[in-house]
Structure 1
């Protein structure tokens, strides 16, 4: 402490402070505003430096006194000065040099009578009375609301009787709608059957490819003990070799999960994916609509294209996740022979290496599927590559959702189905009395049989009775790869 005090005494800051004040006083009237401000700030900085040294000496002196010595001095001298300084600084007033010490304040508090306590009790009593009055008012409002609810129930009973009469009048109309919905359901069943047959053929092809890979790997394992298969199979097509080149078998030396990703819980990953799916609906979908509206004037066609792109992206991403999981299981099998944690290891590896997903290959598959979809009718000069960014985002979201436990998926939706208020909300331009869905705008997100996020659909009355649609011959003539 003595050394700090000696440095402060030997410092000429205090001597030059008075000289600067005198010089500023002489030149104040001749200086500009900026010059006076600079003078003032220099003096403040110099005073702050001196004050910082004094506070350092104060701290050292207080530490030399131990735990108890000097406490009363700090309370009686330092704390009242700090309180007065902060109060004056916040109110824009100069610091009063006649501020009473904290010792005087303690003395006054010591000899105070029980007046503040009585005032506090009175304040509490008044608050209690006001709270009781508010409670009585709330109870009165509750009674009035109950009376209104009873009156509303009575009026709803009258309306229900009127609705029964109206239902009797509209029975013939409903029978016509049932017949039209039956015809549309038959058409949907035939379309779904053809789609399922195509999926079965694709799965059979994949099974054949995987069986060939298995036989090749078994032949190699008899000659070598290396557990890593060849990442690039020459017997595959170019698209499949491109998607399989990043398979986990090519990087089996790096099986240690990333610590940051492995710490993410399933709940956190699910919340992040739900947020991304909501952002895709609120922002990415609208951006894609703006791109399509430059070429297509009809809003219904634009919304149909985006919905079909979303559905196809989920389908392609689920297939890609299935193949990726098969490759991971094959690659990790030699390292976990006889282990009970094999499934956990596969799940952890997939979660930590979601970036190995070949999103561009899935985007190409989605665009090919959209080109041959008969429900999309549009000018031939429109290219679905405009939606590549949107499709890539949906594919990545869908692929990551398959790694959750349980996985998330979208609900099946078909034109002409009965509107389900549990899964969808009606679009703003819908007929809110129509029972059938004209077309879907956005799919509903499901977890098993529970709806996580509602979709959006357009409903109009009588749309499927007079509707006639012919698919585009240019797009329908393209083969599906």
Structure 2
């Protein structure tokens, strides 16, 4: 008897019955009528099973008391209760009902309830996540629409700006082309005018000389020539007295040309030739060579012209050459520096060692070439004169005339190209030049790029 009671307590049938009642109460208003009836039938069936177990226990307890054990209690409590109309359905609970089957059914109901609750909770979470996702998608769609509108607006504006910019570029290109054509035409006219002026000056000098010769032949005594200004008052040895001062000043000016003016010219050239440092250095060196050559040619022409004029009237104690040099030193303003600059640029344009982009020309170096021509003219007016050393590519490096540049190969015996010429007084080096030495210099020399016109 006690063992059967213990099993009944462990199964928890009454607890399961109470849980189902509470669950039915919570879901009563949610369930349909059929679901509520099914719940009621389920509870009645479970209650019948519990009552069957209780009647079995009652039978066992009564049998333990003998034939008349518990009769009074049954008469006082059970019979009045039965007479009130309650009767347990004997068919619902059979005598061989197992307590284990009831416990299994209770566990299955509990598991089903838990699974249903978990499923409903997952469903709620999924619905919540779905709603959040829909809200995010709606926000992204709104943002995408706004971005698309901004992109369309920007595209329309950029299209209009691009069209205006293209029109402006076309107009500017046309203006640039016209300006280049005009500049080329003006440059040609300026060159022609310079040539005409030079020819006119030569013709006037020749006419003046012929007039002076004719006057001397007609009058029998020499007269001063009108085209040349008379010598300024002063010592006839003015050139010799100022020679040392002019020499030291020209040497200093030559050094300044290398350290200051050359650097500025290099900076200007690198804007248009950014990827060829050797060509930039070659252009500067060739410009210096051509400028000195133009200055020497102009000095020789001036010297011949002055000698021819002074030969008629010279009677002083100094020699004719001294008088000619003194006259040139006193009248340095007669040097046509602009003509020398134009001669230098024309010589650079046909030099096969250098080239320049087609859209610009060597007039960019006009200030630098002008100062080099002035220096070359002054060096020619010294006694003895100063000059720059001749230079050729792939010549043997001479430490007395040149110093190596920073990017040279210091063991190379040949000069690849020159950076700055040396100043010479006959065979004596006054100021060293600079050169770049490389091995196989005669093989690595670059061929000049053709200049487009």
Are 1:366 and 2:348 matched, yes or no?
no
Q: Which residue among 223, 230, 252 is the counterpart of 1:227? A: 223
Shift, 1:471, TM fit: 4.4
Superposition map of 1:55-454 within 5 A: 217-223=212-218, 227-229=223-225, 231=227, 249=228, 251-252=229-230, 254-257=231-234, 265-297=242-274, 298-337=276-315, 339-454=317-432
The alignment partner of 1:366 has SS state of helix
The alignment partner of 2:430 has SS state of strand
Shift, 1:359, TM fit: 0.7
Show CA shifts across 1:243-281 (max 9, x none): xxxxxx1x12x5324999769532111100000000000
Show CA shifts across 1:165-191 (max 9, x none): xxxxxxxxxxxxxxxxxxxxxxxxxxx
The alignment partner of 1:416 has SS state of coil
Q: 8 Å contact 2:222–2:312 — kept in the other structure?
A: no
Q: 8 Å contact 1:257–1:352 — kept in the other structure?
A: no
Task: Output the CA distance in 2 between the equivalents of 1:367 and 1:433.
Answer: 36
Task: Output the CA distance in 1 between the equivalents of 2:323 and 2:446.
Answer: 53
Task: Output the CA distance in 2 between the equivalents of 1:439 and 1:213.
Answer: 47
- 1:257–1:393 distance in 2 versus 1, CA, 3 Å: farther
The alignment partner of 1:464 has SS state of helix
Task: Output the CA distance in 1 between the equivalents of 2:366 and 2:319.
Answer: 39
Shift, 1:356, TM fit: 1.9
The alignment partner of 2:442 has SS state of coil
Show CA shifts across 1:8-55 (max 9, x none): xxxxxxxxxxxxxxxxxxxxxxxxxxxxxxxxxxxxxxxxxxxxxxxx
TM-score by length of 2: 0.50
CA RMSD of superposed structures (Å) = 2.9
Q: 8 Å contact 1:258–1:352 — kept in the other structure?
A: no
- 1:282–1:470 distance in 2 versus 1, CA, 3 Å: closer
Aligned residues: 250
Show CA shifts across 1:183-233 (max 9, x none): xxxxxxxxxxxxxxxxxxxxxx9xx989887556534543566734463xx
Q: 8 Å contact 1:257–1:349 — kept in the other structure?
A: no
Task: Output the CA distance in 2 between the equivalents of 1:353 and 1:393.
Answer: 18
Structure 2: 5+ residue runs without aligned partners? 1-198
Shift, 1:333, TM fit: 2.6
Shift, 1:294, TM fit: 1.0
TM-score by length of 1: 0.48
Query: Which residue of structure 1 aligns with residue 63 of structure 2?
Result: none
The alignment partner of 1:458 has SS state of strand
Q: 8 Å contact 2:393–2:415 — kept in the other structure?
A: yes
The alignment partner of 1:439 has SS state of strand
Instruction: Select the structure of larger CA radius of gyration.
Output: 2
Task: Output the CA distance in 2 between the equivalents of 1:213 and 1:322.
Answer: 19
Structure 1: 5+ residue runs without aligned partners? 1-204, 232-248, 476-481
Q: 8 Å contact 2:416–2:445 — kept in the other structure?
A: no
Show CA shifts across 1:379-401 (max 9, x none): 21231111111111111111011
- 1:472–1:227 distance in 2 versus 1, CA, 3 Å: farther
The alignment partner of 2:418 has SS state of strand
